[in-house]
C-alpha cells in the first residue's frame, strides 16, 4: 500500500498528466550523475534565503503586516522604500523558495498599503490624506513608483490566480488608460502621460514643490542613509530637514511626458499576461510606439521631455534633453553643496521598450536601445588608457542655461549592464562583442568555468553578512526610516536567476523577468523546480539553449515542467538528451529525472514566438 504522501503525489501527477502530456512528449533523464557542487549549493541557498527572510519578517514586521519603522512621505525615505524592502521575495519563491515567502509578501503588501494610507501631512499636498488612494500612490515619478512595485510586478510568476493581484494590476493599469475618471493621466490624442508626477489622483499639472519630493519633517533622531555625512549616521531630522529640502530645489519641473513614464508599461504587460485581455497590450504598444517615433525624430536619442503637444522638448522650446532626471539634469544639490549630474534615461526606457519586445516579438524595439548607446559611444574618449563616455547632453551648466548643446560629463561608466540586456534580447553576436567576457557572460562563452561556484559563494557571504546585520542591528522602529532596512533585506537572487533560468537583472533595475527558462513542479502544483532538482544554464544562442538538469535525490524520481521563457514567450522546438532528439513544438515540456540522475538537455527554440502569459502550464 502506498503511504499517504506518495499516494497524494501520484494522484497530483495523474491529475495534471492529460493537460501536460497533450503532445505525448516526456523527456526522460536516466543517466546517473553525482550531485554537482553547484546543484547542492543552489538548493542550500534557496533554503537559507527562505529562512533568512522568515527571520527578517519576524523581527521587522508586526502582526498587521506593518513594517516596524517611522513612516513618512518622501522620495528620499518614503513609501516606495518601505515596500521595496521585499523587492525580490516573490522572485525568490518563483526560483523555488519556501511558500512562506508568498504568505509574508501578501501580508506585508496589504499592511504597507494600510500603513501608508494612514499617514497625514501638512506641508505636502500629495499625502494630506495618505500616500495611497485606491491602493496606488497618489502622485509620484516612475523611478520611485516602480521601485515600490518591484515585488508586486513579479508576484504573478508564482501567484497568477490571486484575486487581489489580478484586481489590483487591472485597476493600476487602468489609471493610465483613463478608466478612472479621477485619474486622467493619459492623453490618447498625443499619446502622452501628461506629467512626470502621476498616479491615482491624476497628473500634476503644476510645478512640484520641494515638499512634494521631501515630505514633512517628523521629530526624532534617525539613521539617515542618504546623508552625505556618513551612511546611517544618527541625526536629528528636524535639524537636518533644511538640507533635505535643499537636495531637491532643482526638481520642480513636472508638466509633460518623461521617459521615466515608460516604466508604467510594466503594469500593462503584467495585466495582459494575467488576463489575456488585448486592451492592455494595445495600450502598451501604442504608447511605446509613440516614444519610438519621437526617438527617431531626435536622431535616435530617447528624449527626456515630451510637451503637452506631443512633441519632443515641447515644454522647453524644443530642447528634447531637458526635464527632471533628463539628459541635461545637471543641478546644484544643496544637501551635498556641489554640482550633481542625474540623468536617468535608462530607468524607464529599457523596461518600456523591452516590454514591447515581450508582447510583440519585434526586435525593432531593441534597435532603439542599441542606437541610443551607439550615439553615446560615438562620442567616447580615451584618457589614461581608459574609455570614457558622456553621461549627459545639453548645456554643461545645466541649471544655468547659456545656449550651448554638447555631450559632457565623461565617466568610465560604459553601460555594460544595458549592453548585456541588449545582447540577451537580440542574441546578435555583434552586440556580444561590446561586452567583457567575464562573470556570467564569460561562463556562457566558456571563458569563466568557475563562475557558478564563485557566484554562489559570494551570495552565501552576502547572505551571512545580512543576517549578521539583522542580529546586531542597534536600531529601534523609532530611529528607522523607510530606507534603512533596504541595506540588509536578506534574499540573494541574482546568481540563481543567472544560473538556473538564464535570466538577468541589470543592477536590479528592470522589473520584468527576461529569462530563457522557467520551471514548475507539477506534483506540488507550484512555480519553481522540485526541491531536489538543480539546474545550470550553460549555453545561450539565438535558436537554442542548453541546461543541465539533475536530481540530487538518490531515492525518489522527480517530475518537472521546463518552460521556454519566464512567460512562455519562447517556443521549444525539440529537446536532445545524450544525442537523442525529441520533438516538442510547444512552450513547455515535461521532464522526468530518475533518482540520482542528470543530463545536459539541448533545446532548439524560437524566441519570442508566443504571446506571453503568467498562467501555469496546467491552467492553459
Among candidates 464, 608, 423, 343, which has minimal Cα distance to 55?
Answer: 464
Residue 384 has a CB neighbour count (10 Å cut-off) of 5
SS3 at position 470? helix
Among candidates 78, 207, 176, which has minimal Cα distance to 132?
Answer: 78
Dig out the grid coordinates for 193 from the structure. 502621460
Domain residue limits at 583? 4-30+516-619
Identify whether the C-beta of residue 133 lies closer than 8 Å to the C-beta of residue 201: yes
Identify whether 11 is part of a domain: yes
Burial class (CB in 10 A: 0-12, 13-18, 19+), 582: middle
SS3 at position 244? helix
- Ranges of residues in the chain whose predicted pLDDT is under 70: 1-24, 227-232, 398-401, 508
pLDDT given at position 446 = 96
- Angstrom distance (rounded) from CA 146 to CA 154: 12
Place of cell 499517504: 4
Among candidates 159, 56, 150, 70, which has minimal Cα distance to 106?
Answer: 159
> Which DSSP string do the residues of 391-455 spell out, in sequence order?
EEEE-TTTTS--S--EEEEEES---HHHHHHHHHHH--HHHHTTS-S-HHHHHHTTS-TTHHHHH
Among candidates 179, 76, 89, 85, which has minimal Cα distance to 134?
Answer: 179
Residue 150 half-sphere exposure toward CB, CA atoms < 13 A: 24
pLDDT given at position 280 = 99
The long-range contacts involving 121-125, CB below 8 angstroms and separated by at least 24 positions, are: 121/73, 121/211, 121/215, 121/216, 122/216, 123/211, 123/215, 123/216, 124/73, 124/209, 124/211, 124/212, 124/214, 124/215, 124/216, 125/209, 125/211, 125/212
Identify whether 555 is part of a domain: yes
Dig out the grid coordinates for 52 from the structure. 533568512
SS3 at position 465? helix
Report the sign of the C-alpha dihedral through residues 129, 132, 134, 139, in that order.
Answer: positive
Identify whether the C-beta of residue 192 lies closer than 8 Å to the C-beta of residue 257: yes
SS3 at position 318? coil
SS3 at position 581? strand
pLDDT given at position 472 = 95
Distance of alpha carbon 189 from its chain centroid, rounded?
30
Among candidates 338, 339, 311, 316, which has minimal Cα distance to 326?
Answer: 316
Residue 255 DSSP label: B
Identify whether 432 is part of a domain: no
pLDDT given at position 415 = 97
Q: What is the CATH number of the domain that holds 577?
A: 2.60.40.1180
DSSP alpha helices (H): ranges in 72-224?
79-84, 89-95, 100-117, 142-148, 150-155, 163-174, 210-214
Identify whether the C-beta of residue 105 lies closer than 8 Å to the C-beta of residue 155: yes
Identify whether 595 is part of a domain: yes
- Angstrom distance (rounded) from CA 329 to CA 187: 25
- Angstrom distance (rounded) from CA 461 to CA 468: 10
Burial class (CB in 10 A: 0-12, 13-18, 19+), 457: middle
Identify whether 614 is part of a domain: yes
Dig out the grid coordinates for 581 from the structure. 532528439
Identify whether the C-beta of residue 374 lies closer than 8 Å to the C-beta of residue 300: yes
Beta bridge partners of 561: 520, 590
Residue 400 has a CB neighbour count (10 Å cut-off) of 9
Place of cell 521631455: 305
- Angstrom distance (rounded) from CA 80 to CA 83: 6
Domain count, the chain: 1
Helices 265-275 and 345-360 cross at an angle (nearest 10°) of: 20
Identify whether 17 is part of a domain: yes
Identify whether 89 is part of a domain: no
Identify whether 129 is part of a domain: no
The three state secondary structure string of 19-47 is: HHCCCCCEEEECCECCCCHHHHHHHHHHH
- Angstrom distance (rounded) from CA 526 to CA 159: 9
Report the sign of the C-alpha dihedral through residues 580, 585, 587, 589, in that order.
Answer: negative
Amino acid at each position: 500500500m502506498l503511504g499517504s504522501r506518495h499516494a497524494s503525489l501520484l494522484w497530483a501527477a495523474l491529475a495534471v498528466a492529460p493537460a501536460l502530456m497533450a503532445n505525448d512528449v516526456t523527456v526522460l533523464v536516466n543517466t546517473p550523475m553525482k550531485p554537482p557542487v553547484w546543484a547542492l549549493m543552489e538548493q542550500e541557498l534557496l533554503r537559507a534565503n527562505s529562512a533568512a527572510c522568515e527571520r527578517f519578517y519576524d523581527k521587522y514586521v508586526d502582526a498587521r503586516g506593518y513594517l516596524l519603522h517611522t513612516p513618512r512621505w518622501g522620495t528620499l525615505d518614503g513609501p516606495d522604500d518601505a515596500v521595496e524592502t521585499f523587492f525580490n521575495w516573490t522572485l525568490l519563491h518563483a526560483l523555488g523558495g519556501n511558500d512562506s515567502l508568498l504568505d509574508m509578501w501578501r501580508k506585508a503588501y496589504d499592511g504597507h498599503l494600510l500603513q501608508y494610507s494612514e499617514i497625514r501631512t501638512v506641508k505636502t499636498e500629495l499625502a494630506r490624506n495618505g500616500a495611497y488612494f485606491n491602493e496606488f500612490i497618489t502622485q509620484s515619478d516612475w523611478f520611485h513608483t516602480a521601485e515600490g512595485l518591484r515585488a508586486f510586478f513579479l508576484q504573478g510568476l508564482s501567484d497568477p490566480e490571486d484575486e487581489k493581484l489580478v484586481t489590483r494590476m487591472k485597476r493600476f493599469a487602468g489609471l493610465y488608460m483613463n478608466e478612472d475618471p479621477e485619474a486622467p493621466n493619459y492623453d490618447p490624442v498625443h499619446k502622452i502621460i501628461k506629467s512626470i508626477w502621476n498616479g491615482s489622483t491624476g497628473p500634476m499639472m503644476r510645478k512640484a514643490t520641494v515638499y512634494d519630493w521631501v515630505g514633512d519633517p517628523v521629530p526624532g533622531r534617525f539613521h539617515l542613509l542618504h546623508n552625505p555625512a556618513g551612511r546611517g549616521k544618527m541625526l536629528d531630522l528636524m535639524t537636518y530637514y533644511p538640507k533635505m529640502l535643499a537636495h531637491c530645489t532643482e526638481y520642480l519641473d513636472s508638466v509633460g511626458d518623461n521617459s521615466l513614464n515608460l516604466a508604467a508599461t510594466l503594469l500593462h504587460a503584467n495585466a495582459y499576461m494575467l488576463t489575456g485581455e488585448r486592451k492592455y497590450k494595445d495600450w502598451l504598444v501604442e504608447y511605446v510606439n509613440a516614444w519610438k517615433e519621437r526617438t527617431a525624430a531626435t536622431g535616435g536619442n530617447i528624449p527626456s521631455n515630451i510637451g503637452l503637444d506631443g512633441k519632443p522638448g515641447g515644454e522647453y522650446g524644443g530642447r528634447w534633453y531637458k526635464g527632471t532626471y533628463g539628459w541635461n539634469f545637471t543641478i546644484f544639490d544643496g544637501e551635498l553643496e556641489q554640482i550633481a549630474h542625474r540623468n536617468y534615461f535608462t530607468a524607464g526606457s529599457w523596461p518600456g521598450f523591452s516590454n514591447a519586445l515581450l508582447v510583440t516579438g519585434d526586435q525593432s524595439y531593441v534597435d532603439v536601445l542599441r542606437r541610443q548607446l551607439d550615439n553615446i559611444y560615438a562620442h567616447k574618449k580615451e584618457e589614461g588608457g581608459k574609455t570614457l563616455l558622456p553621461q549627459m547632453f545639453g548645456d554643461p551648466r545645466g541649471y544655468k542655461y547659456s545656449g550651448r548643446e554638447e555631450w559632457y560629463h565623461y565617466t568610465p561608466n560604459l553601460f555594460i549592464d544595458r549592453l548585456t540586456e541588449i545582447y540577451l534580447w537580440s542574441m546578435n553576436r555583434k552586440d556580444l562583442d561590446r561586452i567583457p567576457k567575464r562573470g556570467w557572460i564569460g561562463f556562457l562563452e566558456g571563458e569563466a568555468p568557475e563562475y557558478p561556484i564563485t557566484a554562489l559563494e559570494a551570495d552565501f557571504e552576502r547572505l551571512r553578512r545580512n543576517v549578521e546585520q539583522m542580529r546586531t542591528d542597534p536600531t529601534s522602529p523609532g530611529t528607522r526610516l523607510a530606507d534603512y532596512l533596504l541595506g540588509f533585506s536578506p534574499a540573494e537572487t541574482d546568481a540563481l536567476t543567472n544560473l538556473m533560468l538564464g535570466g538577468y537583472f541589470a543592477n536590479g533595475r528592470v522589473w520584468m523577468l527576461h529569462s530563457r527558462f522557467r520551471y514548475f513542479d507539477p506534483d506540488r502544483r507550484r512555480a519553481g523546480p522540485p526541491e531536489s532538482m538543480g539546474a545550470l544554464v550553460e549555453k545561450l544562442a539565438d535558436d537554442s539553449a542548453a541546461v543541465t538538469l539533475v536530481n540530487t535525490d538518490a531515492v525518489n524520481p522527480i517530475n518537472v515542467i521546463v518552460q521556454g521563457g519566464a512567460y512562455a514567450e519562447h517556443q521549444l522546438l525539440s529537446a536532445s538528451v545524450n544525442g537523442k532528439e525529441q520533438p516538442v513544438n510547444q512552450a513547455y515540456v515535461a521532464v522526468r529525472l530518475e533518482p540520482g540522475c542528470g543530463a545536459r538537455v539541448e533545446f532548439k527554440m524560437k524566441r519570442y514566438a508566443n504571446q506571453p502569459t503568467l498562467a501555469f502550464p496546467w491552467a492553459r
